[in-house]
Copies of this chain bind each other. A is one copy, B any other.
Amino acid sequence: MVHPAISETAKAIKELKIQGARNIAERAVAAIYSMLLDEKEKGTEKEEIIERIKEAVGVLAKSRPTEPALRSALAYVLREVTRLKDLPTGIFTDALIESLEKFAERMDETEKKIAEIGSGLIEDGYTIITHCHSSTLMGIFRKASEEKEFTVIVTETRPKYQGKKTAKELLEMGVKVVYIVDSAAYYFMKQADIYMTGADVITADARVINKVGTALIALAAHEFGVPFYVAASTYKFDPATVLGFSEPIEERDPAEVIDPKELKGAEIRNPAFDATPPNLVSGIISEKGVFSPYTFVSLLSSEKTIDPQLETIIKLAFNR
């Protein structure tokens, strides 16, 4: 029997009642946390708890198989389980509870660290071009705005206009904003000193999966010798890709693009992401530092070969 916290959260995610990458991630971890509290009260054995967690991860992962942040959060839980699994039951449960309790907090610390590091890449007087909205990147902009003057060229980011949110927050910080349609990125690229975005997922072969359009603009940046830096905490690395699972690209509601009635007979496609190859990315700004995507992956993968248990869980969870 799946714990109600899990099944309800999964249902809410499936029915789009919970939305937004980080929100979904935190709510999924919170559900497992709730379940753990109950199991602790019941004094459930470690082995049993681990089984329940695997099950929970499987249920949650399937609730939105195209949301990379959800996958990353669940992979985090699994990594913590693996890390702690040799402890005695009581200590294990407490340690895991504590770890999950601090998930959101830790993400805040991570963001803060990235903000501090990333702001070093922005020099006074710079013109930055960005795409979509990334809270991690906004942290960098906020930090940098405390000491430097710079301008950000913001693309509106069709179809959901996340650029508007980016622009508004920048204006509130007192940062100069140039607001353009997505396809004007080539036209304005010569003026840019640096191209910066967030990321949804970094794959094992070092590609950056982010809001559709990111790769297209990366080509323009490359054409004008403008370096491209991606703000992404290490938990954006998806271990499933190590095993050759290709990252599925979510296709969202066509109605976000256009009312289908307006174009009867047309196939309206709305992929949410694209994948930028690593040769177009100068560096990833994570809480570990600023490294090329190749090094970023090396740092996260170097300690050991794939943990067999983790591998089994991944396969279970992602039903592959």
Contact between B187 and A118 (Cβ–Cβ < 8 Å)?
Answer: no
Contacts A171-B266, A177-B266, A262-B164 known; A187 to B292 CB distance under 8 Å? Answer: no
- Note all chain B residues with C-beta closer than 8 A to A246: 120-121, 123
- Per the bound structure, the CA–CA distance linking A320 and B123 in Å amounts to 13
Q: Is the CB of B299 within 8 A of A301?
A: yes
B156:A258 contact, CB within 8 angstroms: yes
Copies of the polypeptide in the assembly: 6
Q: Is A50 an interface residue (CB 8 A)?
A: no
Q: How far is the CB of A58 from chain B (nearest CB, A)?
A: 19
Of B264, B270, B277, B295, the residue contacting A206 (CB under 8 A) is: B295
Residues of chain A from 9 to 43 with CB closer than 8 A to chain B in the complex: none
Alpha-carbon distance A187/B265, docked complex (angstroms)? 22
> Contact at A181–B225, with CB atoms within 8 Å?
no
Interface band, chain A: 35 or more
**Those of A65-98 within 8 Å (CB) of chain B:** none
A257-312 contacts to B, CB under 8 A, are 257-258, 262-271, 274, 277-279, 282-283, 285, 287-292, 294-295, 297-299, 301-302, 305-306
A→B interface (CB under 8 Å): 116-121, 123, 131, 154-159, 164, 167-168, 171, 176-190, 193, 204-206, 212-213, 215-217, 219-220, 223-225, 241-246, 249, 257-258, 262-271, 274, 277-279, 282-283, 285, 287-292, 294-295, 297-299, 301-302, 305-306, 320
A-B pairs, top 4 by smallest CB distance, nearest first, are A183-B213, A120-B244, A242-B289, A298-B298
The 6 sampled A-B contact pairs (Cβ below 8 Å) are A179-B263, A179-B267, A184-B269, A206-B292, A216-B220, A244-B289
Given contacts A118-B244, A120-B243, A131-B183, 5 further A-B contacts (CB under 8 A): A181-B182, A182-B183, A183-B212, A184-B271, A288-B306
